[in-house]
Structure 1
Amino acid sequence: MTTLSRRVLDAVPHPLRAAVQRLLGELVRVQIFDRAMTLAAQAFTSLFPLVIMIGALSGSAARDRLTDLIRLPADSTRLVQDALGGSRSGAFGVLGSLIVVLSATGLARALARAYRATWSVAGRRAGPADTGWQIGTVLLVVLFLIGVRLLVHLTDLLPAAGVAGVVVTLLADCGLAVLLPRVLLGPVVPRDRLLLGGLLFGLIMLGVRAAGAIYLPRALQSSTERYGTIGLAFTYIGWLYVLSFCLLLSAILAVVLADRLPRWFVRSDPAAGP
């Protein structure tokens, strides 16, 4: 145990010390910092080409709507519009679109490896069916990114727009964190860990989204003014790292807290894994 870990444990009340010690051990075992960086890099190289492809295939009106839903600062919006506007549907034929989608499965495979390491489950067997689930996972994430923005935009029409927006994003974040491991690994994930991980991720994201609403537009604006497109890319990778870290942290917390749940909540199927 490192000196930092000992200091953390010494500052924790004794009744919680065992749980915190296990949490620290799980963070080290899963290698959360390295895996979060891997997920951030994979997300950047997987999701952005898909967004550009969707924008290129959807026409100018849909591209404008897409950048409006993303709500970037003026300079950043211009860069994204240039990227989308420079891509034409002719550049994305059937073969080109297939290559982009298959390349994006790197994110799904990285997620599957992270979940298998976190929850110590086998997951799905490799094969064509597994590739299909990976493609579905990536498309699910893209749909989530666009759909949440659209839903939040629609909640602006409601009387209590702020509250409705928070509820929508909370439910969407919880749903995503539950669906991702379920789609990637199949039914082997224990129910307690799956539901706990989704709930914890949604709660964590309440604070992260609030901080991001203040930090991210300013960081994008500043990095774009200083470094142009490369600054925009680095800022997004940094933010994706934060999101990836939160996703893995919620899964690890679910492992630690699952043992303290009432036994009726824990899935009893021995095939579901430990």
Structure 2
Amino acid sequence: MSWASRVRSLRSGAERRFPVLAGLTERLVDGNLLDAGTRLAAQAFLASVPLLFAFAAFAPAAVRDQLRDSLRAMFGLTGASAAEFQRVLGGGAPDEVRETTGAIGALIALVSATSFSRAMARVCERAWGLPRARTRIAAWRWAAWLFFLLLVVFLQAPIRDGFGAGAWLGVPLFFVLATGVWLWTQHLLLAKRVAWLPLLPGALLGAAASTALGITAPLYMPTAFDRALSEYGSLGLVLTLLSWLIAVCGAVTFALTIGAVLAREPPLDRWFDPARHPGRAPASGAEPDGG
């Protein structure tokens, strides 16, 4: 028997004994997950930059300070990179910034940022093989999810510090919060077409990925930011941030997709299979997927 035939035989035997492997292999190979994660990261970046400037222009000083502290906690910002974020959020000339940005510009930034919500919704829908929800059903969900995510980012500093207790509480608190975020994200953006319980495996995997990346980011991001800033200027910060977003969004995309497969395949299907749990929205709540 040739080496290739032996590998195929081993794979077939493993898939017969563990059917979940067949489902995972099919979704990971055919689902274009890396492309989906990259598109999600691009939309996240395009949403975060205008929102950051809108915050700098219109938010009160206390809000800007809290956001700056949270960004420092997320990335471990020090030195030149911390000074660069301070320059953006410091609001040294708020009147001039407001004139440049304008209320209409800030509103447009908020509306355009929902493209990130729509991309996240498509990730969830592809993970569960569902058609795209109708705009009249999904539109308010896009805005609600975006504002909730902004709130989570805004509170990163106290959460990671365990509200003053330290990392021993901050890390498990971060994991629990991340589990809730990804559980609610799927339930909201899927327009209640999948019950809560089947969404739990994906939420736990998403939380594990988010926690791992969240803990390690302060260890390597400060050096990456400072090196990129010294070599490429502000453009270096942009490229570094985009690279980090690609890693996070790619990990979340894989986590939610794998979670959806695990929930519907043995041995977890007896507890999590959506067919065993009521809670799907009516079929009229969706329209054919346009790609």
Give your verdict on TM over 0.5. yes
1:217 CA drift (Å) = 1.6
192 and 81 in structure 1: CA distance in 2 versus 1, 3 angstrom threshold = same
1:95 CA drift (Å) = 2.1
Match of 1:263 in 2: 270
Per the normalisation by structure 1, the TM-score is: 0.85
Separation of aligned partners in 2, 1:208 and 1:13: 35
Instruction: Give the secondary-structure state (helix, strand or coil) at the position aligned to 1:187.
Output: coil
Separation of aligned partners in 1, 2:109 and 2:150: 13
27 and 193 in structure 1: CA distance in 2 versus 1, 3 angstrom threshold = farther
Aligned-partner residue type, residue 209 of structure 1: G
1:113 CA drift (Å) = 1.5
Are residue 104 (structure 1) and residue 113 (structure 2) matched?
Answer: yes
Match of 2:153 in 1: 145
Are residue 115 (structure 1) and residue 124 (structure 2) matched?
Answer: yes
1:237 CA drift (Å) = 0.7
What are structure 2's unaligned runs of at least 5 residues? 283-291
Match of 2:181 in 1: 176
Instruction: Give the secondary-structure state (helix, strand or coil) at the position aligned to 2:184.
Output: helix
Separation of aligned partners in 2, 1:75 and 1:10: 53
Overall identity of the aligned pairs, in %:
26
Separation of aligned partners in 2, 1:113 and 1:52: 27
Aligned-partner residue type, residue 261 of structure 1: L
Separation of aligned partners in 1, 2:225 and 2:8: 34
Separation of aligned partners in 2, 1:9 and 1:242: 34
Separation of aligned partners in 2, 1:146 and 1:7: 49
- Map 1:202-213; keep pairs closer than 5 Å: 202-213=207-218
108 and 7 in structure 1: CA distance in 2 versus 1, 3 angstrom threshold = farther
What are structure 1's unaligned runs of at least 5 residues? none
Are residue 249 (structure 1) and residue 254 (structure 2) matched?
Answer: yes
9 and 251 in structure 1: CA distance in 2 versus 1, 3 angstrom threshold = farther
Note if contact 1:69-1:149 (Cα within 8 Å) is conserved in structure 2. yes
148 and 13 in structure 1: CA distance in 2 versus 1, 3 angstrom threshold = farther
Are residue 73 (structure 1) and residue 78 (structure 2) matched?
Answer: yes
Per the normalisation by structure 2, the TM-score is: 0.80
Note if contact 2:193-2:279 (Cα within 8 Å) is conserved in structure 1. no
Note if contact 2:24-2:258 (Cα within 8 Å) is conserved in structure 1. yes
Q: Tell me the number of residue pairs that the alignment of Structure 1 and Structure 2 aligns.
A: 267
- Tell me the alpha carbon deviations over residues 161-188 of structure 1, each in whole angstroms, 9 at most, x when there is no partner: 2220111110121111112222222110
Instruction: Give the secondary-structure state (helix, strand or coil) at the position aligned to 2:154.
Output: helix
Structure of higher CA gyration radius:
2
1:144 CA drift (Å) = 1.3
Note if contact 2:70-2:156 (Cα within 8 Å) is conserved in structure 1. no
Instruction: Give the secondary-structure state (helix, strand or coil) at the position aligned to 2:127.
Output: helix
1:130 CA drift (Å) = 2.7
